[in-house]
A and B are shown apart, each in its own frame.
Chain A
Amino acid sequence: DGGITQSPKYLFRKEGQNVTLSCEQNLNHDAMYWYRQDPGQGLRLIYYSQIVNDFQKGDIAEGYSVSREKKESFPLTVTSAQKNPTAFYLCASTAGGRQGDYGYTFGSGTRLTVV
């Protein structure tokens, strides 16, 4: 079955550490996105990538970094510079294609807790 796999499901990080969240898709989608979900704030865009080897900052990119070396993979690194990293992180992808027809497929998320 095609879909998006995020790992790990739960992640604990000590303050001052960098951690990397994995996102892999086998949908052959061109575009991939990282969102952060916090209670009462909805989903906020961290980074997105429309094509391999290219990515853009979203609304809350500070303290995060990404890479897009392969079409199917879009890992997110939460660096020590991120002041409040405890959150639920969602990865999504979309085929793009016809302008306006951007249905997202979401992963199951990674819950990151700083201890």
Chain B
Amino acid sequence: AQSVSQHNHHVILSEAASLELGCNYSYGGTVNLFWYVQYPGQHLQLLLKYFSGDPLVKGIKGFEAEFIKSKFSFNLRKPSVQWSDTAEYFCAVRGPSSNTGKLIFGQGTTLQVKP
């Protein structure tokens, strides 16, 4: 079955620390990859996405992610987190056989940044 796995369920960091959230997926072939963020009390919103080309993609608010095809991974990174980055982060994958736009989401990672 198609699946997406996020390694960390709850991460606590101090401001200015570096962040890396892991995401692995179980598809073969071409995939589209996404990271979404849900700030407290707000809608889910897109952080960044990868479809093709440069495997290092940059998103909003200083986030970036690297697609490593050989490892089936799409890890999210930020060099220096801020208190305002406190949120829940979701990795999502659209598989190669899907022509429906249907996304498969990971379990989510809650990030808490201490001021």
Residue numbers of A with Cβ under 8 A of B are 31, 33, 35, 40-45, 48, 50, 56, 58, 90, 92, 94, 96, 99-104, 106-109
Contact = CB atoms under 8 A, between A and B. Distances in A.
A40 B94 contact: no
Contact of A100 (B9, B51, B90, B107): B51
Among B4, B32, B100, residue most surrounded by chain A Cβ atoms (within 10 Å): B100
A107 B43 contact: yes
Contacts of B108: 40-43
Interface residues on B, range: 20 to 34
Contacts of A102: 32, 94, 101, 103
Contact of A31 (B6, B90, B101): B101
B90 A58 contact: no
Among A92, A102, A107, residue most surrounded by chain B Cβ atoms (within 10 Å): A102
A43 B108 CA distance: 8
15 contacts: A40-B9, A42-B4, A42-B105, A43-B90, A43-B108, A45-B103, A48-B100, A56-B100, A92-B44, A100-B32, A101-B51, A102-B103, A104-B44, A104-B46, A104-B103
B97 interface: no
